[in-house]
Chain A
């Protein structure tokens, strides 16, 4: 049964390739959001760490990838991997002091870090072009230049699939189970021999890696990036995706990305309602569907 669903999803993903360019742009956006949201959910949904620095790691990925492509003309996927590595390293460094803090304090510190990072993106004119935004050169794959969304789509699809597989294997690994244990109860996890500190730091690093990869995906189908992309609004969007979809569930997060990611397209004529709808969905979900859409779909796991 499951295999049928996966086959259908892959077939649909293949069909998108022949759709109009606008559809491809939206599909590309959703693929990027999927990687970004899966990464945030590793920290929040799996490990239960309420951290808000995700957009900073995403930004590091975007700027590293973009600058390597712009200035050195390095071929895909090297700039993306470099961006992901840098994002993961910064995430690990942030994790070390952040781990002294718990819950709301962790949320505040990481939130402050994200805001400070956005300020750097805004102010470091020499590197990021500041508030003028950075023009991104067309990505090169060896001798081939990616010029439109149709070119970018297959690459983004492959990257996103690889990240989904990585996330699934993480969830079923010992590390993934340790994260869940930590989420359930830290004292209990410690008592059963889990090195809570190490698991948290690794969760931060992997989450940063996902954000960095998502950052590397952006220059493939965008020719311009502005520091405002990495603000609170972006964070609330991906937070809404994982909360509405279902924290800690890969399937749920992907559903959430599709639902929330398509909202702005569906509500094209109702832009004024955007904030009310996002906010209202967040409130209604935590009130009535604590496990998200995925939790309503099938009974919650024990």
Chain B
């Protein structure tokens, strides 16, 4: 029973990080129809920005974290402004989507390559925990302070995002752009700038997720592969349904831990792919949505 609860605890913690990354993928997908295969690498690059500031320059943690999150924003917004906007102007229809996805794969490689050249990637490192201290015990379940911090910080980020999209003028403009770009343009919303902001916010969100999870996992230039789990979480949530995606992230985190407990740790690696395939083939609208709807052409 205790091991089960412990697995559950671990699942909720990693699951909330997956949910955060998944959210970053989904808000980009909703407003630009692009799946950002570089999402994990933006996360990775932001973590290395923090590492360079902390280790190389001896900056205080809050400053390093702030610059890392801003760095994420700049990478995302800059990629949209410099690359995606140009693609959208040249190609058309389905070809835009293909070209954009190829560009995100390119970005993923460029970021990995650049980080490897930094000189900080030769040895495996880790970021310091934001919430250090002795672990707490709930019955026999060990709960690290960092774990509580991760869940709280992730919840806070989601709540802030919700309030931003719901109540600020910029947030509403962003939602209108995602809903119907042409109508948004007609009522005077600068659609191109909105897309850029969305890319920036989504990438900053990935950076936050990275800073939260980096103390728990080993940092390597290949850590961006975590995006696979976020993709699986997004698929579970139907890719556009935001509460569903958050639930999908948590569910996936828990599922992963249970598989590790009951099947084998080796099987954990393949689980997200099986989830993606099974859900997309059997229930493409996600676990939590109603019946499938046809998208109008």
The interface of chain A, by Cβ under 8 A from chain B, is 44, 48, 50, 97-98, 100-101, 103-105, 107-109, 111-113, 115-116, 119, 123, 185, 187, 236, 239, 243, 272-283, 286-287, 290
A287 to B281, CA, bound (A): 33
Most buried by A among B29, B93, B272, B280: B280
- CB < 8 Å neighbour of A282 from B97, B106, B235, B277: B106
- Chain B residue at minimum C-beta to C-beta distance from A275: B113
Interchain residue pairs with CB less than 8 A apart (24): A48-B98, A50-B97, A100-B284, A104-B33, A107-B101, A112-B273, A112-B274, A116-B274, A119-B269, A236-B105, A243-B102, A275-B109, A277-B113, A279-B113, A280-B110, A281-B106, A283-B83, A283-B110, A286-B83, A286-B99, A287-B87, A287-B90, A287-B103, A290-B87
In the complex, whether B107 has a CB less than 8 A from a CB of chain A is yes
Q: Which residues of A contact B114 (CB under 8 A)?
A: 276
How many whole Å from B294's CB to the nearest CB in chain A? 11
- CB < 8 Å neighbour of B276 from A112, A279, A287: A112
How many whole Å from B161's CB to the nearest CB in chain A? 23
How many whole Å from A124's CB to the nearest CB in chain B? 12
A108 to B281, CA, bound (A): 11
Q: A276 touching B280 by the CB < 8 A rule? A: no
- CB < 8 Å neighbour of B109 from A105, A112, A116, A276: A276
How many whole Å from A32's CB to the nearest CB in chain B? 22
* Contact count A vs B, C-beta below 8 Å: 121
Most buried by B among A123, A276, A280, A281: A276
Known contacts A112-B276, A236-B109; is-contact A290 B94 (Cβ 8 Å): no
Q: A108 touching B91 by the CB < 8 A rule? A: no
Most buried by B among A44, A115, A123, A187: A115
> How many of B's residues come within 8 Å of A, CB to CB?
45
Q: A275 touching B112 by the CB < 8 A rule? A: yes
Q: B99 touching A108 by the CB < 8 A rule? A: no
Q: Which residues of A contact B103 (CB under 8 A)?
A: 282-283, 286-287
Q: Which residues of B contact A50 (CB under 8 A)?
A: 97-98, 101
A13 to B116, CA, bound (A): 38
A283 to B281, CA, bound (A): 31
Q: B113 touching A274 by the CB < 8 A rule? A: yes
Q: B266 touching A283 by the CB < 8 A rule? A: no
Return the 6 tightest CB-CB contacts between A and B, nearest first. A279-B109, A275-B113, A282-B106, A276-B113, A279-B110, A283-B106
How many whole Å from A123's CB to the nearest CB in chain B? 6
Q: B110 touching A286 by the CB < 8 A rule? A: no
Q: Which residues of B contact A103 (CB under 8 A)?
A: 94, 97
Known contacts A48-B94, A279-B109, A281-B106; is-contact A100 B231 (Cβ 8 Å): no
Known contacts A103-B97, A119-B270, A279-B107; is-contact A113 B277 (Cβ 8 Å): yes
A280 to B281, CA, bound (A): 34
Binary contact track B177-210/A, C-beta < 8 Å → 1, others 0: 0000000000000000000000000000000000
In the complex, whether B117 has a CB less than 8 A from a CB of chain A is yes
Q: B106 touching A109 by the CB < 8 A rule? A: no
Q: Which residues of B contact A107 (CB under 8 A)?
A: 35, 101
How many whole Å from A42's CB to the nearest CB in chain B? 15
Q: Which residues of A contact B111 (CB under 8 A)?
A: 279
A109 to B273, CA, bound (A): 8
In the complex, whether B31 has a CB less than 8 A from a CB of chain A is no
Q: B281 touching A109 by the CB < 8 A rule? A: yes
Binary contact track B40-74/A, C-beta < 8 Å → 1, others 0: 00000000000000000000000000000000000
Q: B105 touching A239 by the CB < 8 A rule? A: yes
A273 to B109, CA, bound (A): 10
Known contacts A236-B109, A276-B110; is-contact A119 B102 (Cβ 8 Å): no
Q: B94 touching A105 by the CB < 8 A rule? A: no
Q: Which residues of A contact B117 (CB under 8 A)?
A: 272-273, 276
Q: Which residues of B contact A115 (CB under 8 A)?
A: 228, 270, 273
Known contacts A100-B284, A113-B277, A272-B113; can you find 7 more A-B pairs with CB under 8 A? A48-B94, A103-B94, A112-B274, A112-B280, A116-B274, A185-B93, A280-B106
Q: A119 touching B110 by the CB < 8 A rule? A: no
Q: B107 touching A108 by the CB < 8 A rule? A: no
Q: Which residues of B contact A282 (CB under 8 A)?
A: 102-103, 105-106, 109
Q: Which residues of B contact A185 (CB under 8 A)?
A: 93
- Chain B residue at minimum C-beta to C-beta distance from A274: B113
A272 to B109, CA, bound (A): 12
Q: Which residues of B contact A112 (CB under 8 A)?
A: 272-274, 276-277, 280
Q: B35 touching A101 by the CB < 8 A rule? A: no
A185 to B95, CA, bound (A): 11
Q: A97 touching B281 by the CB < 8 A rule? A: yes
A78 to B178, CA, bound (A): 54
Q: A119 touching B106 by the CB < 8 A rule? A: no
Q: Which residues of B contact A287 (CB under 8 A)?
A: 83, 86-87, 90, 103
How many whole Å from B192's CB to the nearest CB in chain A? 16
